[in-house]
């Protein structure tokens, strides 16, 4: 039994390392062997990958002795980039908190970055609103407990009362931030509903 435990303890780090290395590969062995390089390129383009992505695929496929077809992959990537480099996509990336990759034609980059920034602004406001709502809930719970006489780890009643008074200010400020963020978010959603989503 001890020998089995010792073998497992020695082999687990090796297995873990193998798993980590295989999870870093951009393509599976099966994908390399099928070799639909135009489809792989299209997916990379839709995801906004740079052309150096092919080097990662080449490295992943070297284990299967497969060499990528650069021309088919680049043809597919260019088709995918047409989808990636659209205003709605740039905005939606921002709404998910992601910045636009620098892979689009220079002539439309400025427009796409503006759309992406509008999405990022909305995302950041939503995150702020979520955090402040969570904070408000915590403040309310603490306020209610202190108001009902719980000491919550304070050394004496005077400290607990001081915290209760400061919590009233914290609650007021947090509510104000929530109202401001909600108003800004409503305005952004209204403005952005005319062209992005």
What does each C-alpha distance from 188 to 112, 170, 191, 195 come to in angstroms?
Answer: 17, 27, 5, 12
Can you give the pLDDT at residue 24? Answer: 60
pLDDT, tens digit, 9 for 90 and up, residues 98-139: 999 999 999 999 999 999 999 999 999 999 999 999 999 999
Can you give the pLDDT at residue 22? Answer: 38
d(CA 148, CA 135): 20
- Helices within 29-105 (DSSP H only): 29-34, 37-46, 53-62, 70-84, 87-95
Can you give the pLDDT at residue 178? Answer: 96
pLDDT, tens digit, 9 for 90 and up, residues 14-28: 333 333 333 468 999
Can you give the pLDDT at residue 145? Answer: 92
List the one residue out of 56, 51, 85 whose CA is nearest residue 71: 51
């Amino acid at each position: 039994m001890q020998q089995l435990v010792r073998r497992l303890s020695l082999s687990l780090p090796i297995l873990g390392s193998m798993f980590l290395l295989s999870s870093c590969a951009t393509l599976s062995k099966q994908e390399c062997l099928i070799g639909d390089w135009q489809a792989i390129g299209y997916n990379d383009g839709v995801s906004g990958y740079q052309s150096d992505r092919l080097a990662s695929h080449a490295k992943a496929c070297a284990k299967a002795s497969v060499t990528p077809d650069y021309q088919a992959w680049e043809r597919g990537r260019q088709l995918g980039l047409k989808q990636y480099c659209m205003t709605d996509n740039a905005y939606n990336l921002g709404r998910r908190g992601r910045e636009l990759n620098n892979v689009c034609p220079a002539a439309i980059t400025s427009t796409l970055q503006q759309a992406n920034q509008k999405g990022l602004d909305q995302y950041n406001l939503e995150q702020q609103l979520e955090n402040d709502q969570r904070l408000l809930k915590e403040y309310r719970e603490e306020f209610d407990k202190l108001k009902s006489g719980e000491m919550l780890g304070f050394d004496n009643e005077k400290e607990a009362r001081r915290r209760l008074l400061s919590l009233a200010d914290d609650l007021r400020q947090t509510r104000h931030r929530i109202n401001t963020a909600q108003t800004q978010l409503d305005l952004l959603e209204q403005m952005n509903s005319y062209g992005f989503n």
